[in-house]
């Protein structure tokens, strides 16, 4: 079986994975990460608990880190749309863990709570947005979110 060391990941990610106690990728991670890093679209399916979030979050972080930072306010370059607030929070925590040694900023937006903290984070600029559909549409209609700079989309 392949190791994370063999996946040609950047040092900040390797360090974060080591901190998280990850040594070997799961099958979906071993298959997905190289494809995404090569710029391919991917449709993946695996059981709960097999590491699907890491399978897309790790290569997304790497791809964003290799892009030239945009001058001025950060714009949303990656959008992850997820059906529930619980999953949105979990995905956000994963980006926090895997990307903790990077300069990337992310936020999570979902309904059922006040939007002020979410809109404050958006106005400061984020690279990665994790959102539930209702709150995403609501904040787009209020012009807090624009999708014009999105180049990675996860659904």
- Please provide the DSSP assignment of 2-47 as one string: --GGGGT--HHHHHHHHHHT--S--HHHHHHHHHHHTT--------
Residue 69 has pLDDT above 90, yes or no: no
Beta bridge partners of 141: none
Beta bridge partners of 83: none
Q: What's the chain's average pLDDT?
A: 95
Residue 71 has pLDDT above 80, yes or no: no
pLDDT at 136: 98
Enter the tokens of residue 27. Answer: 């099958």
Give the mean pLDDT of 70-79: 87
pLDDT at 2: 86
pLDDT at 1: 73
pTM of the model: 0.94
Enter the tokens of residue 16. Answer: 């974060």
């Amino acid at each position: 079986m392949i190791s994370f060391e063999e996946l040609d990941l950047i040092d900040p990610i390797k360090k974060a994975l080591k901190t998280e106690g990850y040594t070997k990728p799961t099958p979906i991670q071993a298959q997905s990460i190289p494809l995404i890093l090569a710029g391919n679209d991917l449709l993946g399916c695996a059981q709960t608990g097999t590491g699907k979030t890491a399978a897309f979050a790790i290569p997304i972080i790497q791809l964003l880190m290799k892009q030239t930072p945009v001058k001025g306010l950060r714009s949303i370059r990656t959008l992850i749309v997820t059906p529930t607030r619980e999953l949105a929070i979990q995905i956000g925590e994963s980006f926090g863990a895997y990307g903790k040694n990077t300069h990337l900023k992310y936020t999570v937006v979902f309904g059922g709570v006040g939007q002020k903290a979410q809109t404050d984070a958006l106005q400061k600029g984020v690279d990665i947005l994790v959102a539930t559909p209702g709150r995403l549409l609501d904040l787009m209609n209020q012009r807090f979110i624009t999708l014009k700079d999105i180049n990675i989309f996860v659904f």
